[in-house]
Amino acid sequence: MIQDRRDDHGLVESLKQMATKLRRHSVLMTSEAGSGHPTTCLSAADVMAVLFFHVLRYDVKNPSNPHNDRFVLSKGHAAPILYAAWAEAGAFPTEHLMTLRRFDSELEGHPTPRFPWAEVATGSLGQGLSIGVGMALAGRLDGLDYKVYVLMGDGETAEGAVWEAAALAAYYRLDNLIGIVDINRLGQSQPTMYGHDVASYERRFGAFGWHVINIDGHDIGQILSAFDAARQVRGRPVVILARTIKGKGIAAVEDQNGWHGKPIPRGEMLERALQELAVDGDGPQLRVHAPAVDDPAASVPAHSTGSVASMPPPQYQQGESVATRQAYGRALAKLGSVNPRVVALDGDTKNSTYAQEFLADFPDRFFESFIAEQNMVGMAVGLQARGKIPFASTFACFLTRAFDHIRMAGISQANIKLCGSHAGVSIGQDGPSQMGLEDLAMMRAVPGSVVLYPSDAVSAERMVELAANHQGIVYIRTTRPKTPVIYPNDESFAIGGCKVLRWSPQDEVTLVGAGITLHEALKAHQALQQEGIAVRVIDLYSVKPVDQETLLKAASETNNQMITIEDHYLEGGLGDAVLDAVGSTGVRVHKLAVRQLPRSGKPEELLDACGISARAIIEAVKRLTGRAETNDAGASVR
């Protein structure tokens, strides 16, 4: 147990008063809003007062100052006390706190970057520590001495993502990362798993290699000493375990279950609460300390959102066979050579995703995330918050387990790039557990996302460059098998574009594919041409946004008949993207997609069995054009 700083009586009393002010603000603003989580704010008030008004080094008027310490409120439902702390720090007038949760206010129910002092969105519990790991790695990479503080609730430590982050923070020896766990014993509906058994948390974090400090989270002296000690630790991340009381400061709700997410009702109960939280006069005039920088003009990495310099052009021969996943790795390495802000993360799949190409050239900017995809995405969010352009890669199917982190990255409006390799049944014998068949639907659903699906090596390299120059979430889907290079090295691509690869005035149907199915469509085109059946072929390399204009034009010239072909389940993928773009205009979209649970087999067997091979395309075209072969009974022959 840490001893309190008894010699700092004046400071201790001032911070106690500040904690009371933060509690008072939290109660008033949630009561005014008629919703919110005041009791979780009350438990964290003493820690927040010490952290913000004694420990944190932050230029309040300049949140983008690269020397600022970073703070992540992982327990995002405690947003009121975050806003209260920043208001008391001088970020904005305290009167504005009363706009909490209003539609026209940036003080949302859980923090988002609409609030300038929140770099990331939080509130889906268990993600803040991963983000903190990314921020800490960025600080180390840039040679900056800021500390990253992450305040977690005890309930959220039941999330596996917390322990993914804890393991990696220890692996990378992130002594610039300080976690705080507010152990207030009560969750939303019942007591937490370990209640006030602080020793259980101590054993767990200790086993992961963290330096653990155990304190009374309402003793200002102990909190001061804990932060002093934490800043001196070298070679290990630090966690401060603060035993607290939920609802601290209001006798009627202290340590009482059933008050989570409930404001103090107006009337007599609120009046009593405010009396308990009385502050003498205006209270202490404390301010956040600005970071001490020996040389304010010292060179620091740029954190602009400007475009990335052009990459060296692709170097492929048309007709040669190259997997798009391999071209992704080559492009990533090229990208690293033209912009030092580009970093790469991978989930122990780098010899399959070919992210190893980047590792070979830029080992200091490559972060192995091991088999922990949630943490990998969270780290990417933290890295981008500090000005990096992170590319995170793994098998497409494994990104699905990180979807909540991706969803929250969308709310953060994060500038991250994700690459999912080994997409679809075309991976072959590894079987359905390794086949990404839901990823297009998943990524299309993220607000503001871009979804790119290259079909050859040239387009894959260009997609990487497009992703780097786009501000926001970009998903690149790559394929395991080698495919022929179909584009010249100087071919240009654009987000929201597509390519019409085969056309004639006699075209009767438009075929729309991407990735592996584009090559099946090209095979079908060749075979149909020999039979005198003309079809148009479109490479829909931009699945989101789609090129509606080109699709509509093609449909209008091919009897309003379109066939989409995708190595993805029927729901939510390329076919639905096309249908969303043209369906309301009367265009008939016939979707060829994976409609059954696949199994192990050779890629060509699986493509055919799932009805997305050249043969299946040919049959679909013949049915639509009235040329399907029939048996003696008049039924179509497959």
**Residues belonging to the active site:** 373
Q: Say if residues 337 and 95 touch (Cβ distance below 8 Å).
A: no
Give the relative orientation of helices 268-276 and 9-33 as an angle to the nearest 10 degrees.
170
d(CA 272, CA 268): 6
3-state secondary structure of 110: coil
Here the tokens at position 473 are 């979430």
How many CB atoms within 10 Å of residue 391?
A: 29
Q: Say if residues 367 and 338 touch (Cβ distance below 8 Å).
A: no
3-state secondary structure of 305: coil
Q: Say if residues 361 and 336 touch (Cβ distance below 8 Å).
A: yes
Q: Say if residues 59 and 89 touch (Cβ distance below 8 Å).
A: no
Here the tokens at position 355 are 């992210």
3-state secondary structure of 154: coil
45: exposed, middle or buried (C-beta count within 10 Å: 0-12, 13-18, 19+)? buried
Q: Say if residues 362 and 525 touch (Cβ distance below 8 Å).
A: no
How many CB atoms within 10 Å of residue 505?
A: 6
Q: Which of 384, 388, 515 is nearest to 452 (CA)?
A: 515
Measured CA distances, 4 to 7, 18, 42, 229, 546 (Å)? 9, 18, 21, 12, 61
Here the tokens at position 430 are 């590894």
d(CA 330, CA 307): 20
Whether omega for the bond prior to residue 263 falls within 30 degrees of 0, making it cis, is no
Here the tokens at position 172 are 């990378």
d(CA 49, CA 47): 5
Q: Which of 54, 461, 24 is nearest to 286 (CA)?
A: 54
Here the tokens at position 67 are 């020397």
Measured CA distances, 523 to 518, 520, 535 (Å)? 9, 5, 12
Give the relative orientation of helices 220-232 and 9-33 as an angle to the nearest 10 degrees.
100
Tell me which DSSP letter residue 54 carries: I
The radius of gyration of the chain from alpha carbons, rounded to an integer in Å, stands at: 28
d(CA 37, CA 31): 10
Count of positions (residues) in the chain: 638
Question: In this structure, what are the phi and psi dihedrals at residue 384, rounded to the nearest 5 degrees?
Answer: -70, -30
